[in-house]
Amino acid sequence: MAAMLDGPLRALFLWLSHRRWVARLALRTPGLRRVALRFVAGTTLAEAAEAVRALNASGASATLDVLGESVSDRATADAAAAAYVATIERIAADGLDANVSVKLTQMGLDLGVETCLQVIGPVVAAGRRHGIFVRIDMESSRDTDRTLEVVRRLRADGCDVGPVIQAYLHRSRTDVAELAAARVRVRVCKGAYAEPESIAWQRREEIDRSFVELVTTLLDADAYPGVATHDPRMIADVLAHVRQHAIGPDRFEFQMLYGIRRDLQRRLIEEGYRLRIYVPYGTEWYPYFMRRLAERPANVLFVMRTMFGERR
């Protein structure tokens, strides 16, 4: 039954993501605002910094994401880059244990790779100045080659950057093999975009198997992977490999979303594992939140179970 409802629910959430009146309603309604902003660390840099400070106090590090849409003009891209520079400067000034995650379409990737490199230049320069890592997020499959090209060119210039690789893409085994050989820091996630069967695994067991394979390849190469999952089964599989091969907890980190499975987050920290929380902030929180629900409509029930479970 849940599978039958996935398509209509996904379409509904994507439709809602473009309805700004729903966003305004959510902000004015205490209950809706509380649920929505549970997963976004506010709309300002100051609010995001406070959220990171609290996470650091709990034993977790963070990666800050300035929410925004794909841009189609240079001025908007430059403004997004300036927001990231300000974020990096704030991380350094406050002594926060955090880095940043950047989407290249927000940096003008659709204007061309050369333009994107120019726009992101001040961001990676600020990261280099303060010794702060810059994660390059992965978007849909149409952007994969261009994203990896930008990563390669930035690293060739000595920038401390690393990409995200999506486990559901067939190509990811080859991409990770190349990145592992160069010991590039990679975040591995399952993947959230709608991709055709010709290029992406569709069944959960296939995606899970690929996820663990990619992570273990990076672990064995001592490439410090980011293991991005809330799935206890995937975590258990990764930890089984870690124990079998005597890999220390300083050689990888788990990564989770802000506000999701805080009980599991606490458990990993208590067991001595490194954990980094993806902390989005900004005025564009509403489309982000709705897309998270659209990615997998079962997340609606998951969110409710998480909230009620933590309350208990």
Rounded Cα distance between 33 and 36, Å, is: 5
Active site residue 187: yes
Determine the number of helices (DSSP H) and then strands (DSSP E) in the chain: 13, 8
The answer to whether 80 and 66 are in contact (CB under 8 A) is yes
Rounded Cα distance between 185 and 180, Å, is: 8
Instruction: List CB contacts of 70: < 8 A, sequence separation 6 or more.
Output: 103, 105, 106, 110
Q: How far is CA 14 from CA 117, 189, 287, in A?
A: 30, 21, 8
Exactly one of 135, 185, 187, 261 is catalytic; name it.
Answer: 187
Q: Which amino acid is at 308?
A: F
- In this structure, the number of other CB atoms found within 10 A of the CB of residue 3 comes to 8
The answer to whether 163 and 186 are in contact (CB under 8 A) is yes
Supply the Cα-derived Rg of the chain in whole angstroms.
19
Rounded Cα distance between 311 and 99, Å, is: 30
- SS3 of 305, please? helix
Rounded Cα distance between 42 and 164, Å, is: 24
Active site residue 137: yes
Give the side-chain half-sphere CA count within 13 A for 44: 3
Strands 61-66 and 98-103: parallel
Which residues participate in catalysis according to the annotation?
137, 187
